[in-house]
């Protein structure tokens, strides 16, 4: 990610312009968010 940003001169747009990098970014975000969401949902249900 750091290399992509340095190649793209610090612009985040580089990460979402290509389908491959966009899909990897979505997977990483999902892996970071889903465990926390399931924990919160379990806590609410009881």
CA distance 35 to 12: 25
Per residue in 10-19, pLDDT (tens digit) is 777 777 788 8
Q: Under a CB-based contact definition with an 8 Å cutoff, are residues 17 and 5 in contact?
A: no
Complete DSSP assignment for 1-46:
-HHHHHHTTT-THHHHHSHHHHHHHHHHHHHHHHHHHHHHHHHHH-
Between CA 2 and CA 44 the distance in angstroms is: 38
**Global confidence as pTM:** 0.62
Give the pLDDT confidence of 19-42 residue by residue, as tens digits: 888 898 899 999 999 999 999 999
Distance CA 1, CA 12 (A): 10
């Amino acid at each position: 990610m750091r290399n992509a940003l340095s190649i793209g001169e610090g612009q985040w747009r580089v990460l979402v312009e290509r389908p491959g990098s966009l899909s990897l970014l979505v997977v990483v975000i999902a892996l970071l968010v889903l465990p926390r969401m399931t924990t919160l949902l379990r806590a609410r249900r009881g």
